[in-house]
Amino acid sequence: MTTAIRVGLSLTFTTDTHPAADLGPILDRFYDELLDIEDREVDVEDPDMAAGMADLKADVEMTVTAESYLDAQIRTAVLVRAALHAAGVGTPGWEAIIASFAAPAETSLLDA
């Protein structure tokens, strides 16, 4: 059974390829891409973003329809990565981030 699940991701941007002054327009393009994803994907609702220019961070949330929280986390991460790429932002090491989702979920279930 699928259900709507709200998932959040915290992103930190580096300035190796983009000066900090360029982050505003990049974040605008990124958010536009998130909204485009919402328009295209039937399982995505209400993407939202809050960003801090001083610390180069952005918090992204969206609701996705999935069978489990882990599935929702992975789906959100894949969509956020697609939006970042469409906005011209590279995501080296992203596979490790997605792979790390499974371990904390299993641990919290075992501790319960």
Residue with tokens 């809050």: 50
What integer best gives the mean pLDDT of the chain? 85
DSSP, res 110:
H
Quickly state the pLDDT bin for 20 (edges 50, 70, 90): low
pLDDT, tens digit, for every residue of 43-89? 999 999 999 877 888 999 999 999 999 999 999 999 999 999 999 88
d(CA 54, CA 36): 27
Q: What is the pLDDT of residue 3?
A: 93
First to last CA, the chain: 23
The model's pTM is: 0.83
Contact assessment for residue 83 and residue 35, using Cβ atoms and an 8 Å cutoff: no
Residue 77 Cα distances to 2, 8, 88, 111, angstroms: 18, 9, 16, 25
Per-residue model confidence (pLDDT) at position 15: 67
